[in-house]
């Protein structure tokens, strides 16, 4: 544990960690702030700069803030437009003042509301907004993202170093376009997209044809670009296929996901660590 004085007595070549909880809590909890500072400044990491940290804390922090990660997502269409990859339009809602200005505009499509913090149990609490009046149901800070009809199928891409795996999951069903008087729908994303989960929100009309999965070339290009943009080795990407344009659409990026449905996770992680050690060894001998 981080608080133990001998937790990293070493020697270590690589440290794989999952400090996302601590990073989030450090914003408002002094004990977490102390633990994080101890790990970064007063620990083995600071005195052994050659030790590889998977993943770097600043890189992880950007995925804990949807304002930051969605800005990264919005740039994908510029670098990957030839692959027909994009992300939905979104708005950062910092305070109720932002909501007041939006309510004066006409909402022309369904919106999905997500918390700004992209980690922890509350980050899975979301809502579907169908009209300007329903904006009163949301609580800033949050993100409002255009909802894209995608045939109730979510593709989760799990990245482990230079390898990746794509797993299909259930997702939200299609909704008619345009504003309507439907009440806000509140839901937990775990209840609609976990393996084998069943929900009225994922029930599709049988007439809806099954969409083809994303092409392996497009997914590989997306992963390569995000690895460069994020500077990370362990992350997940949620993508959907737009039923109208068939565009590969990135809707979220996840920090160190659970890797459910990826039986090759540990062998892949070990292979990645070995590649890091080989690279370090070659650099030391040159």
Residue numbers in the known binding site for ATP are 66, 114, 145-156, 171
Mean pLDDT of the chain: 87
Q: What is the pTM of this model?
A: 0.90
Query: Which pLDDT value is given to residue 104?
Result: 65
What band does 188 get if pLDDT is binned at 50, 70 and 90?
very high
37: domain CATH number is: 3.40.50.11370
**Contacts for 139 with CB less than 8 Å, ≥ 6 apart:** none
Query: Which pLDDT value is given to residue 123?
Result: 92
**pLDDT tens-digit map of 66-120:** 999 999 999 988 888 778 899 999 999 999 888 877 876 667 789 999 999 998 8
Q: Is residue 215 part of a domain?
A: yes
Residue 69 sits in the same domain as residue 49: no
**Contacts for 109 with CB less than 8 Å, ≥ 6 apart:** 146, 147, 177, 178, 179
Q: Is residue 201 part of a domain?
A: yes
What band does 39 get if pLDDT is binned at 50, 70 and 90?
confident
**Is residue 286 pLDDT above 70, yes or no?**
no
Residue numbers in the known binding site are 66, 114, 124, 145-156, 171, 238, 252, 254, 258
Helix, strand, coil tally for the chain in percent (to 5) = 35, 25, 40
The count of domains in the chain is: 2
Residue 34 sits in the same domain as residue 105: no
123: domain CATH number is: 3.30.470.20
Residue numbers in the known binding site for 1D-myo-inositol 1,3,4-trisphosphate are 124, 156, 254, 258
**pLDDT tens-digit map of 259-270:** 998 989 999 999
Query: Which pLDDT value is given to residue 4?
Result: 45
What band does 220 get if pLDDT is binned at 50, 70 and 90?
very high
Nearest to 89 by CA among 277, 251, 276: 251
Residue numbers in the known binding site for Mg(2+) are 238, 252, 254
């Amino acid at each position: 544990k981080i608080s133990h004085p001998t937790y990293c007595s070493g020697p270590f070549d690589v440290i794989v960690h999952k400090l996302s909880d601590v990073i989030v809590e450090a914003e408002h909890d002094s004990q977490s702030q102390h633990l994080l500072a101890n790990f970064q400044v007063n620990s083995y990491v600071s005195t052994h700069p050659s030790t590889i940290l998977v993943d770097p804390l600043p890189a992880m922090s950007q995925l804990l803030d949807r304002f930051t990660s969605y800005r990264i997502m919005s740039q994908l269409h510029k670098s990957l437009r030839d692959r027909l990859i994009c992300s939905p339009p979104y708005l950062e809602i910092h305070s109720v003042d932002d909501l007041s200005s939006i309510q004066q505009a006409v909402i022309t499509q369904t919106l999905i509301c997500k918390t700004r913090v992209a980690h922890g149990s509350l980050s899975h609490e979301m809502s579907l907004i169908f009209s300007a009046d329903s904006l009163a149901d949301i609580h800033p800070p949050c993100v409002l993202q255009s909802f894209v009809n995608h045939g109730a199928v979510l593709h989760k891409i799990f990245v482990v170093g230079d390898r990746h795996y794509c797993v299909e999951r259930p997702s939200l069903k299609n909704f008619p376009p345009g504003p309507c008087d439907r009440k806000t729908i509140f839901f937990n994303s775990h209840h609609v997209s976990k393996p084998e989960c069943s929900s009225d929100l994922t029930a599709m009309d049988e007439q809806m044809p099954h969409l083809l999965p994303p092409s392996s070339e497009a997914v590989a290009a997306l992963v390569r670009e995000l690895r460069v943009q994020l500077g990370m080795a362990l992350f997940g990407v949620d993508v959907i296929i737009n039923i109208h344009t068939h565009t590969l659409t990135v809707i979220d990026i996840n920090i160190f996901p659970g890797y459910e449905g990826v039986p090759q996770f540990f062998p892949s992680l070990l292979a990645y660590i070995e590649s890091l050690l080989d690279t370090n060894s070659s650099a030391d001998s040159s």
